Amino acid sequence: MKPTDWAITDDEDEFDRSDDTFLVFAIDIETYALAIDSVREIIRLQDIISVPQMPAHIKGVINLRGRIIPVMDLRARFRMPSAEISERTVLIVIEVDDEQTALLVDAVKEVTEILPESMSASSRRNTSEATIVKAIAQCKDKVHIVLDLQLLVSEDYAIDHQELEALVEEAA
């Protein structure tokens, strides 16, 4: 299967997505990959509503078709310096355990196939940042950091979605 070939199943809204298919995006000069089956959509940057008392890496929330979704700034999450927003800055809406989160990234690069044999396990498992690195993938002449989304948005780092919706409703 080519990286961009998704076969439509009986339900036109569902895609047959290979476990080896990843969305590659950039933060600064590094490229990261996440499993395409967790990606719901990629949207242009829109107004982010600030919410008090959130972790520094949670920039606020967006209202996406009536659904309140927290926005995680991956630069802040990875303790990288902030950067100016450009026309390539986007939000990647992911879904993990039935909860959606928008990831603020510098740019989306490609959808590609990363085979298991091209990945090596992260060797730095003793720091909090390393725990979200699932593997390092070598793809032709490129290296991608494969993220573990389950850990990225785990209880240690995520926010209570119901609490967030309540805070937004109070402010309205």
Q: What would the pLDDT profile of 93-133 be if each residue is shown by its tens digit?
A: 999 989 999 999 999 999 999 888 888 875 544 444 446 88
Q: What would the pLDDT profile of 14-38 be if each residue is shown by its tens digit?
A: 444 467 899 999 999 999 999 999 9
For residue 109, the one-letter residue type is K
- HSE (CB half, 13 Å, CA atoms) of 142? 17
Delimit the domains of the chain by residue range: 8-123+161-171
* pLDDT at residue 85 tops 60: yes
CATH number of 8-123+161-171: 2.40.50.180
- Tell me the C-alpha to C-alpha distance, in Å, between residue 33 and each of 105, 113, 122, 134: 12, 10, 14, 10
Candidate from 73-82, 93-102, 130-139 with smallest mean pLDDT: 130-139
Please tell me the distance from the alpha carbon of residue 103 to that of residue 17, in angstroms, as a whole number.
21
**Rounded to an integer, what is the distance from CA 160 to the centroid of its chain?**
17
- Tell me the C-alpha to C-alpha distance, in Å, between residue 17 and each of 24, 162, 163: 15, 30, 33
Q: What is the mean pLDDT of residues 59-86?
A: 92
Model pTM greater than 0.75?
yes
